[in-house]
Structure 1
Amino acid sequence: MRRAVVTGGAGAIGAAICGRLRADHDVVVLDREQVDLGDADDVRRATAAVGEVDVLVHAAAAFDQMRLATLDLDAYRRVQAVNVESGLLLAQAFVPGMAERGFGRIVFVTSDTVYGPPSPDLLAYVASKAALVGITRTLALELGASGVAVTAVAPGLTDTPAARDGMPREAFDGVLARQALTRTLVPDDVAATVAFLVTDGAAALTGQTLVPDGGLSPR
């Protein structure tokens, strides 16, 4: 049985991903109770404790809202540390073992706000998710020869407790009206996409970003 690490596994989307992967993976959850993803030393400690894995899914995300006028560099850097830098540190720790075994899957959960017109309040968040798309492409080229595939999943607005608490119902309805598929997105939509990407059936996919957003931003 392959071993998978999922960051943010206690959140709605992360938990759905864990549920999908547990069918054929030994799943290790790295969430706030296990590691401070904003602290590089703590991330390194956690990876050492986990040991070798075959699959890394980086689903954790800080969602601090800020725009240019209210930009606080410490808060901005915290978002980048959690959303971007921890993913790089985790990959750096786990890739050698993946390469040695000739198989590895890394999936970064990003956001379709990278492609659509984002809210100005999401400056730090969108910057972090766009960085992950670029990292996905770069690592895919670097690691492909060793059998490690790197992909990203960019969900649309998904019905989670955090999303419902963070925006009014009218915002959900407005996004839904613009989707080609007029159904509310749920965490398992993301989980199903991630679960496919870590299988042998996705062996020809690397450097790509799949966008399960109901057709809001066709690509």
Structure 2
Amino acid sequence: MGEHAGRVAVITGGAGAIGGAIAAELAARGHTVAVLDQAGDPPVDLSVADQVHAAAAAVLRAHGRCDVLVHAAAAFDKADLAAVDLAGWRRVQAVNVEAALLLAQAFAPGMAARGFGRIIFVASDTVWSPPAGDMLAYITSKGALIALARTLAVGLGGDEIAVTCVAPGLTDTPAARVGQPAALFEDVVSRQALPRPLAPGDVAATVAFLASDAAAALTGQTLCVDGGLIPR
């Protein structure tokens, strides 16, 4: 049955490489997993508040609870300062930050009532070292996620709800490879303290730890899963 049988984990972006690895890892540890994704069944557009509310309500109808919320979905629109438009900016913030807020609002009361909860946001190590100016909306959103997690950790800690972030480095996924030369990945790996490519399973293992009872004393923290590229 796994070490966490009976717990329900909700994963946004669970149809992607990193989100999928997280969903598989938590399922292997006994969680019942619900995936919220634009490519899911049913599809959910996380940039639309009404769809986020409806998806959260559907999870509670189907499973009666959410014990672990993992927000791994991300919009990655690229534009620098001169090119960014407000509609695109708002879509990135809606998917990457606002959906996390709305889902926390939906699920935290039940977590508090049961005296256990884990809320985990997937951020990015680019917050500390932006690699390009055209990642303006994305990196801003990830910084906001970290701030959101720290604030929620203070507000929800009294109800035994831990809120943390995982900040991956450049992880080798099909989406990350699109339009990128192999030399980019090789260069990043060469600058890591641990010179090995990062895989979705690295992020999934860290999320699984944060979702477990072993992480009971951790909240308000961000763990960088980037091979030591950015020591913190």
Q: TM-score range by the shorter chain?
A: over 0.9
Superposition deviation, residue 166 in structure 1? 3.5
Contact kept, 8 Å, 2:14 with 2:37, in 1: the verdict is: yes
What residue is the counterpart of 1:123 in the other structure? 136
Query: What are the superposed Cα offsets for residues 73-104 of structure 1, whole Å, 9 maximum, x if unpaired?
Result: 10010000000000100000000000000000
What residue is the counterpart of 2:3 in the other structure? none
1:21 aligns with 2:26: yes
Superposition deviation, residue 170 in structure 1? 1.6
Superposition deviation, residue 171 in structure 1? 1.3
Distance 1:203 1:42 in 2: 32
Distance 1:87 1:42 in 2: 13
Query: What are the superposed Cα offsets for residues 36-91 of structure 1, whole Å, 9 maximum, x if unpaired?
Result: 10000110011111102100000000001011011111001000000000010000
Q: Which runs of 5+ in 2 are unaligned?
A: 1-5
Superposition deviation, residue 116 in structure 1? 1.4
Distance 1:53 1:117 in 2: 34
Alignment of 1:1-219 (within 5 A): 1-23=6-28, 24-32=30-38, 33=40, 34-51=43-60, 52-219=65-232
TM-score by length of 1: 0.99
RMSD value, Cα: 0.7
Contact kept, 8 Å, 1:8 with 1:30, in 2: the verdict is: yes
User: Which amino acid is 2:51 matched to?
Assistant: D
Distance 1:111 1:213 in 2: 9
Superposition deviation, residue 117 in structure 1? 3.3
Q: Counterpart of 2:194 in 1: which secondary structure?
A: coil
Contact kept, 8 Å, 2:37 with 2:73, in 1: the verdict is: yes
Contact kept, 8 Å, 1:118 with 1:126, in 2: the verdict is: no
User: Which amino acid is 1:44 matched to?
Assistant: H
Contact kept, 8 Å, 1:2 with 1:54, in 2: the verdict is: yes
Distance 1:114 1:214 in 2: 16
User: Which amino acid is 1:64 matched to?
Assistant: D
Distance 1:63 1:18 in 2: 21
Count of residue correspondences? 219
| Runs of 4 or more consecutive aligned structure 1 residues displaced over 3 Å after TM superposition | none
Distance 2:217 2:76 in 1: 32
Superposition deviation, residue 133 in structure 1? 0.5
Contact kept, 8 Å, 2:130 with 2:139, in 1: the verdict is: no
Give identity over the alignment, percent: 66
Distance 1:86 1:10 in 2: 16
Q: Counterpart of 1:211 in 2: which secondary structure?
A: strand
Q: Which runs of 5+ in 1 are unaligned?
A: none
Distance 1:85 1:191 in 2: 23
